[in-house]
Structure 1
Amino acid sequence: MNKPFIDQADTWYSRAERKAAHYYASLYAQVAEKAYVPLLTEDFRAWQRNRIRPRSWLSLLPRGMNKPDPRDDIRSMRWLARTGKLERYLHRSMSYIYMRDLGKELDNPATQDKIRRAVADVREQLTRSAAASRDDQPDYMSLAWLYRRAQKEGVESAVIWVIDKLKTVAARMPEELNPEHAQRKLIKIMVGVVMHAIDELDDEPSSAERARRIDEAVRLGYSYGLTYPFVDDLLDSRLLTAREKERYSALIRTALLTGTVPELGEWAEERMELIRYVHAELREAFDYIAGRQRPETRNTFFEQAYVFFHAQEADRKKDLSNPDYTNEDLYIPIILKSASSRSIVRSVIHAPADEGFDNRTFYYGIYNQLADDFADMAEDTQAGAVTPYTYYLKYRDRRPDLINPFELYWTVIAHLIHRVYRSDAETRDVILDRAINGLKRCKARLGEKAYRETMDLFASGHPEFNRLVQRMVRRADDVDFFDKLLRDQMVAVLRKSRDDKKRFLDTIETIRRRINDVLPIAKPDEALPMKETLIDAANYSLEGDGKRLRPILTWVMGVDEYGLDAAAIVPLLRSLEYMHTASLIFDDLPSQDNASTRRGRPTLHRLHTSATAELTGLFLIQKAIGEQASLDRFPAEAVLALMQYSARKAEDMCMGQAMDLEAKGKALTLEQLNAMCFYKTGVAFEACLVMPAILARVPEPEIAALKTYAYHAGIAFQIRDDLLDVEGDRLLLGKPVGHDAENRSSTFVTVLGLDGAKKAMWEHYCLAVEALKEKPRGTAFLKSLLNYMINRDR
């Protein structure tokens, strides 16, 4: 099986290269004749009738009263809806996606019908998100929205799987690979693969078949998309030495030509951990894609993958110091890699051959590549990368034979409109919209002066045409695209998510240290020996490596959200941790869970005796009550209400533990498990939120929202605990794994299965997020807490 791939490699690439050379020759002739100028001049005249209107007095108003910054998606959506422009904006955007990513012809009635349906779906999501969003992140960028969407399609397992994968990629991605942009590209590829899979579905597939195909597409999309950060970006980066890049490229090439990923071998110690992870992920991805190829698509997949990789390698190996590259050297690999990057998607999902798609994609690819290279020209110049633009900038004075890449860009546009898409008016409008939008974004990014200098350099060959284009850039307004907004927003959200996580963990650690400092119980000057023993035992239990989530949450809610004095609520923080630690001591006893370790150390009854442990637990409970009674900086009625509430919650927790003990060795229903979980865990989260709210005299509706959030967050937290007991790392957890199974305890995993437990956790995650929409105050910390709960590894 493997030998034919090796034998065919040269034939594959030579065949593709000849096709690319033929396309390049056609473009070269059109550039030489300046054929694009009269064609696009007429196209712009027709195009501007619907894009450029006489300026109204509204244009003189301040920016805030006129069109908002297009990067502000929520305000932009509201503005577009209010001005009646949302429909055209979405139709233009979806038309472009169908043409670029799905290789469709816009004059096809079936394609237009699909675009209309897509527009309706996106409009509904955007309108709902714009109405519901109260912060910088739109709903459709949230994990809760994604999971709810997955539920509608019946692909929850695939989405949970890919969320876990992306979380690991984000954690492992070095800064040199630009983590946010790498993740964005990966997600973009995944979405493109899913769109292709949906497009390939029959008109009326069964719900089960539709779910199966989308599930597979999500996994295939991740597997293919992984090549961008872990092949393309890694080989472009400076993380690897030149020798290591050669070895890594040889490894990829061997996999594509033999169908088997070779072993990794030895690498420099400082990079070994990263390379080992990358190799394992790519091997799993490669095997998944290859294993789902049908006999009739297998050769096509390996051929397209090899041509794609080889073209990238040919382009990557260029050196900007070499003055002798021909135009063919510069452009043919670009034509091949830009076309292959999208055509390979169909072979990844083992779709049948489609000659029309293959041809349109082949001709279209270089348009996007030239646009991207123009946008990235400054960064590429600084990095010393060879692109048509950087090479032209360096050698244009010495090499009059070099094609001006900006002229080639307009030539490709004219070629697409008139030769590939047969002068279709809608196609013309969408492509010119995109071109002008790209220049407007470039102008905004560079500033007026630098943009004008760039245009004077690249458009010097035909100044009259350039004046026409710049007039369009200045006056055209409605040329924004949804995918550009999504790209900017996704990078911003990924960056914010990383910053929020760091800020959350920093906050947690800072407050954790403060709480640890105030927890130890001091010994009275003349304490009886037995009391000293109880205090020592209590402090031993308190000193363990506890997460302190409960008092931390109370501190943040009390101080940051409700403005309570930090020193004034210290007794409340102590009381919460004393109560929690007491519950753990009782939970670990031989008469209950009989645990041997807690917080990475022997449990208290193992260190002393069960009697000492029991008395220590009672001692801590009394200390907790005493701390609550010392909240003397708050009104007495508020403190009394808090203590009454605390007593009720303590009763609930006792009932939860009793339910847990009664359930040992019994098969519980999901309803029983939810109830037990809430009383054991959820009430503690509720108390952490509600107690500072009571002291702050928060209105009842907000307290109700907090209770709903706490209910679902508590269950999600417990499910994560149950999952960690099956899948966790003992060293990270600080306690044995598999403890629930040994005790024959009913857990969410035993009741629902591993997959079902993960789905239940995400359901409660979504319900907790949705509860926060009813809370009028800031919710950023509570969202971060929820993300921490379901992603923690201990």
Structure 2
Amino acid sequence: MHRMYEEMMNDADAGYLLAEEKAARYFAALYEQVAEKSYVSVLTEDFQLWKQKHIRRPSWLSLFSQIKRKPDQRDYNAYIQWLDYTGKLDDYLDRSVSYLYMRDLGQAPNSPDTQMRIQRMSADIKKQLLHSSKAKRGEQPELISLAGLYRWGQKEGIETAVIWLIHKLRKVAAHIPEGMDAEQAQRKLIKIILGVVLHVMEDMGDKAPHEERSRRLDEAIRLGYSYGLTYPFIDDLLDSQVLTPQEKKRYSHLIRTALLTGTVPKMGDWSGNNMELIRYVHTELREAFEYIKGYQRPEAQKTFFQQSYVFFHSQEMDRMKDLSNVDYSNENLYIPIILKSSSSRLIARSVLSAAEDEGFDQRTFYYGIYNQLADDFADMFDDMRDGAVTPYTYYLKYREQRPDLINPFELYWAVISHLIHHVYQSDPKSREVILDRAINGLKRCRERVGAEKYNEIMAIFTSDIPEFNHLIQYMVRKAVDVDFFDKLLRDQVIASLKNDRKDKEDFSATIEKVRHQINSTLQIAKHNGMPPMKEPLIDAANYSLNGDGKRLRPILTWVMGVRQYGLDAAAIMPLLRSLEYMHTASLIFDDLPTQDNASARRGRPTLHEVHNSSTAELTGLLLIQRATQEQASLSQEQFDPKTVLALMRYSAQKAEDLCMGQMMDLNSKGQALTLEQLNTMCFYKTGIAFEACLVMPAILAQGPEEEIAALKKFAYHTGIAFQIKDDLLDLEGDVHLLGKPVGKDAENNNSTFVTVLGREEAAKEMWNHYCLAMDALKELPRGNAFLKHLLDYIVHRER
């Protein structure tokens, strides 16, 4: 076995040496351009042609048009609207999509077929952008929202794959440890998935039958995730300080063994703080590895493993560098990054078992270092802080001691010259896009670090090319129309992930805070002089109230009342208690032997199991009356009596509706309901309760009717989504997390979304209602992050 491993290692190393020789030849060609400064005259001429489109003298007409000033790109929707208003949107999308075809798809933009595809994709994106740019300020772009993703899945007939992906991405986010940049790790994963999907869409074209298109897109999503998972949980994890040196060594050996043998080794014995993380990562990577292998044709596997080994080994070589080592040669610095930057994109195609395409391979190989040098320049200050070795950090530290070191900024421009004139044969469109991107990168750097720091760093990197630098910096200051959609989207994804994390933390903190407040005031007190026969009922009520309830309904009312309408928290506490009393009463009745006959609720035996059915029935009635008393006690100093009366009338109507929903449920046992009947029953059983929680504080605050209508629509779809999730949990949930037995619906012969639709279709229906609920949220005049995260919690919860 050991000898076989050595033979495989030798074969892999031989393959790596061949790749290294190719990279060395490329590097030698670039080195020659830098040494002779030949790229300067070539690019100076290129810039003279390029600037005709990008450097404009202001006219009275252009000054007049600036009345509608360019908005900050962080205001995504306003920026898209501005591009459209000024007539810049078409060119903006054309260069952006052209760049994606060059970088991610390895295409030459001067091909007539590629130009046609670029125009078609640009038109599709424009249509989507103009539709979604009407959203309110600060609202998440539909392109990067869960609702937008699911609706795309519906359009393509791949809802199951999208649901699978949403679940996987959520799990990944939950397992990214402290010490890693969670937003960047997730962004890279999403980017890889998108890249693989684009490869498949490009390969299929528009003429593939719908069934084939759906199948291949489904596979692309799963393959993209399977490959992309390596970025957060191999590359980023090994780059971080999360693992100990011993763990890194062992983990790297495990990955290397998998690439050499084609089989993921067993995890073995791990201990320490990272054991759970490694267990999750090992399980997920093994599943991903097997999925890729199972998809690929046997003859394509060799290419995949060869390219993967080159990628991993070049990453390892780069990772092992120490900034304190003064002896690295130029080849040590640059050849590994040529290899890792090119092979990372070559793998994306080999993952798909795509046919060989020499033009794609060549363009991708030469293009990789361009992106890597641009990324390393952007991350230069963070890398210096972290002590990471990149061409920029190493040059900054040792340039005075090592006059032989190549200036990476000069090499970057040599790469650009090589791409324009040797890879794309001086094609004007290629020159346009590449120079746009280069100047945009410098503009973004100047904006991010400030003019003073930017000029300081430029003085170091351009000291040997003062005239060329003067030209470059003139472009950086004066050039217009060089921004790109993928950068806008990248910034939005990162901002959205950060805001999402912050809002989730606020959501969780709010739930815990308000839940504690509610729990502390729910118990019904026993007072002196109370009739003896009443005490057992109070004890029974408190037993039911003491269970581990989520308290979602009163928490939701608190958020709407206090945060949305500015009501006094103490003043609405009676309303919160009334809602929990009503809800607990409904659960007591629901669990009775004459209804669902449940034995456990909220992690403990049901009330009729502890006492008897008669006690349970009377306790439920007592809690309903208590709820009415609480509502009647709302302060007349804070609320108009007529408003309180209207609230109580509304509450009584909703209680009637709940009873009707439960009767519909009981009468449906053993019957095959239609989806329409199920939706109606579900609304009266569950949606009504959500509606009451949202509408009651609106009634107290005397909110406008159109706002109440939007809240009712949100509650309708949220309630159905909640019930479908309950039905799914009854089928596949964890009894320890749920606090009640699973499988009760089947045992009671209940009609549920799962029994009517099946598990897969029920999940689709839940996500459809999720999207419709999100639409309703957009109708509210004020954004409500809590309601969005409530909806996310409902569809992702495990209890």
TM-score scaled by length of structure 1 = 0.98
Counterparts of residues 305-384 of structure 1 (less than 5 Å): 305-384=308-387
One-letter amino acid of the counterpart of residue 71, structure 1 = R
| 1:16 matched residue in structure 2 | 19
Alignment check: 8 A CA contact 2:551 2:580 kept: yes
One-letter amino acid of the counterpart of residue 10, structure 1 = D
- For residues 127-162 of structure 1, the C-alpha deviation after alignment (integer angstroms, 9 at most, x for no partner) is 111112343422222211111111111111111101
Q: Distance in 1 between matches of 2:247 and 2:520?
A: 49
**Post-superposition offset of 1:203:** 4.3
- The answer on 1:565 being equivalent to 2:568 is yes
Q: Distance in 2 between matches of 1:267 and 1:60?
A: 67
723-732 or 106-115, larger mean C-alpha shift: 723-732
**Post-superposition offset of 1:353:** 0.6
**Post-superposition offset of 1:78:** 1.4
Q: Distance in 1 between matches of 2:593 and 2:65?
A: 72
Label 1:88 to 1:301 Cα distance change in 2 as closer, same or farther (>3 A). Answer: same
Q: Number of residue pairs matched?
A: 794
**Residue number among 739, 745, 751 corresponding to 2:756 in the alignment:** 751
Q: Distance in 2 between matches of 1:58 and 1:446?
A: 33
| 1:767 matched residue in structure 2 | 772
| 1:487 matched residue in structure 2 | 490
| 1:263 matched residue in structure 2 | 266
| 2:737 matched residue in structure 1 | 732
Q: Distance in 2 between matches of 1:282 and 1:567?
A: 51
- The answer on 1:588 being equivalent to 2:587 is no
| 1:539 matched residue in structure 2 | 542
Q: Distance in 2 between matches of 1:317 and 1:20?
A: 19
| 1:706 matched residue in structure 2 | 711
- The answer on 1:672 being equivalent to 2:677 is yes
**Post-superposition offset of 1:228:** 0.4
| 2:306 matched residue in structure 1 | 303
Label 1:692 to 1:230 Cα distance change in 2 as closer, same or farther (>3 A). Answer: same
One-letter amino acid of the counterpart of residue 762, structure 2 = A
- The answer on 1:723 being equivalent to 2:755 is no
Counterparts of residues 83-232 of structure 1 (less than 5 Å): 83-232=86-235
One-letter amino acid of the counterpart of residue 141, structure 2 = P
**Post-superposition offset of 1:29:** 1.2
- The answer on 1:656 being equivalent to 2:661 is yes
Label 1:63 to 1:156 Cα distance change in 2 as closer, same or farther (>3 A). Answer: same
3-state SS in 2 of match to 1:224:
helix
Counterparts of residues 380-399 of structure 1 (less than 5 Å): 380-399=383-402
Q: Distance in 1 between matches of 2:149 and 2:530?
A: 58
Q: Distance in 2 between matches of 1:703 and 1:42?
A: 64
**Residue number among 510, 514, 534 corresponding to 1:511 in the alignment:** 514
- For residues 102-130 of structure 1, the C-alpha deviation after alignment (integer angstroms, 9 at most, x for no partner) is 01101001111111111111111111111
Q: Distance in 1 between matches of 2:695 and 2:93?
A: 44
**Post-superposition offset of 1:286:** 0.6
Identical-residue share of aligned pairs (%): 68
One-letter amino acid of the counterpart of residue 614, structure 1 = E
| 1:635 matched residue in structure 2 | 640
Q: Distance in 1 between matches of 2:247 and 2:571?
A: 59
| 2:454 matched residue in structure 1 | 451
- For residues 418-473 of structure 1, the C-alpha deviation after alignment (integer angstroms, 9 at most, x for no partner) is 01000011110110010001111111112111111111111111111000100010
3-state SS in 2 of match to 1:131:
coil
- For residues 29-58 of structure 1, the C-alpha deviation after alignment (integer angstroms, 9 at most, x for no partner) is 111111100100000000000001013579
Alignment check: 8 A CA contact 2:77 2:137 kept: no
Q: Distance in 2 between matches of 1:7 and 1:242?
A: 26
Alignment check: 8 A CA contact 2:78 2:137 kept: no
One-letter amino acid of the counterpart of residue 647, structure 1 = A
| 2:782 matched residue in structure 1 | 777
3-state SS in 1 of match to 2:134:
helix
- The answer on 1:617 being equivalent to 2:620 is yes
Give structure 2 stretches of 5+ with no counterpart: none
Q: Distance in 2 between matches of 1:234 and 1:95?
A: 32
TM-score scaled by length of structure 2 = 0.97
One-letter amino acid of the counterpart of residue 127, structure 1 = L
Q: Distance in 2 between matches of 1:498 and 1:39?
A: 47
Alignment check: 8 A CA contact 2:187 2:493 kept: yes
Give structure 1 stretches of 5+ with no counterpart: none
| 2:577 matched residue in structure 1 | 574
Alignment check: 8 A CA contact 1:597 1:603 kept: yes
Q: Distance in 1 between matches of 2:400 and 2:448?
A: 27
Q: Distance in 2 between matches of 1:337 and 1:135?
A: 37
- For residues 728-754 of structure 1, the C-alpha deviation after alignment (integer angstroms, 9 at most, x for no partner) is 222221112222222222221222121
**Post-superposition offset of 1:222:** 0.6
Q: Distance in 2 between matches of 1:73 and 1:296?
A: 45
- The answer on 1:681 being equivalent to 2:686 is yes
- For residues 500-549 of structure 1, the C-alpha deviation after alignment (integer angstroms, 9 at most, x for no partner) is 01101111111111111221112232011111111111111111111111
**Post-superposition offset of 1:11:** 2.2
Q: Distance in 2 between matches of 1:532 and 1:332?
A: 81
Label 1:481 to 1:690 Cα distance change in 2 as closer, same or farther (>3 A). Answer: same
**Post-superposition offset of 1:59:** 8.8
**Post-superposition offset of 1:72:** 2.6
Alignment check: 8 A CA contact 1:575 1:628 kept: yes
One-letter amino acid of the counterpart of residue 152, structure 1 = K
3-state SS in 2 of match to 1:270:
coil
739-748 or 302-311, larger mean C-alpha shift: 739-748
3-state SS in 1 of match to 2:204:
coil
Alignment check: 8 A CA contact 1:561 1:778 kept: no
Q: Distance in 1 between matches of 2:703 and 2:454?
A: 54
- The answer on 1:438 being equivalent to 2:438 is no
Q: Distance in 1 between matches of 2:296 and 2:630?
A: 66
3-state SS in 1 of match to 2:313:
helix
- For residues 550-591 of structure 1, the C-alpha deviation after alignment (integer angstroms, 9 at most, x for no partner) is 111111112221222222222211111111100000111111
| 2:533 matched residue in structure 1 | 530
Q: Distance in 2 between matches of 1:568 and 1:350?
A: 65
Q: Distance in 1 between matches of 2:376 and 2:525?
A: 67
3-state SS in 2 of match to 1:200:
helix
Alignment check: 8 A CA contact 1:59 1:66 kept: no
Q: Distance in 2 between matches of 1:317 and 1:63?
A: 52
Q: Distance in 2 between matches of 1:725 and 1:753?
A: 13
**Post-superposition offset of 1:218:** 0.5
Alignment check: 8 A CA contact 1:194 1:218 kept: yes
Alignment check: 8 A CA contact 1:101 1:342 kept: yes
3-state SS in 2 of match to 1:564:
coil
**Residue number among 35, 44, 54 corresponding to 1:41 in the alignment:** 44
| 2:793 matched residue in structure 1 | 788
Q: Distance in 1 between matches of 2:311 and 2:505?
A: 38
**Post-superposition offset of 1:651:** 1.3
Q: Distance in 2 between matches of 1:50 and 1:248?
A: 51
- For residues 201-245 of structure 1, the C-alpha deviation after alignment (integer angstroms, 9 at most, x for no partner) is 154111010010001000100110000010001111111122221
Q: Distance in 2 between matches of 1:180 and 1:446?
A: 20
**Post-superposition offset of 1:61:** 10
**Post-superposition offset of 1:644:** 1.9
Alignment check: 8 A CA contact 1:70 1:480 kept: no
One-letter amino acid of the counterpart of residue 123, structure 1 = K
**Post-superposition offset of 1:608:** 0.9
Q: Distance in 2 between matches of 1:584 and 1:417?
A: 70
**Residue number among 453, 478, 486 corresponding to 2:481 in the alignment:** 478
**Post-superposition offset of 1:488:** 0.9
